[in-house]
Amino acid sequence: MHKTIDAIYENGVIKPLERVILSESQRIRVTIDANENVVASTRAIIRADPEIIRQVAEDDEYLYVS
C-alpha cells in the first residue's frame, strides 16, 4: 500500500496531521519531502521579482498551461 499524508515534526517526533490506521509495531517506510519556499530556493537561479517567481511557481494559470 502507498499513501501520502501530511505531518509535522515536533520535539523529535513526526506527527501525522490525519488519522493513520496501522497495526501496532507495524514497520513502515517514511519519505521526507520538505515543503520549501519556492521563491527562496530559486532566487539564485532566476533573477526576477520574488512575487513573479511565486506566481509562476504556484498559480494554476502557469501550472496547467496546455
Asked if residue 1 is part of any domain, the answer here is no
Asked if residue 29 is part of any domain, the answer here is yes
Q: How confident is the model at residue 66 (pLDDT cuts 50, 70, 90)?
A: low
- Count of domains forming the chain: 1
Asked if residue 40 is part of any domain, the answer here is yes
Mean pLDDT computed over 13-17: 93
Is the pLDDT at 2 greater than 80? The verdict is: yes
pLDDT of residue 65: 58
Please count the CA atoms within 13 angstroms of the CA of 2 that sit on its side-chain side. Answer: 1
Asked if residue 2 is part of any domain, the answer here is no
CA-based end-to-end distance of the chain: 33
pTM over 0.85: no
Range of the domain at 35: 7-63
Mean pLDDT computed over 29-55: 74
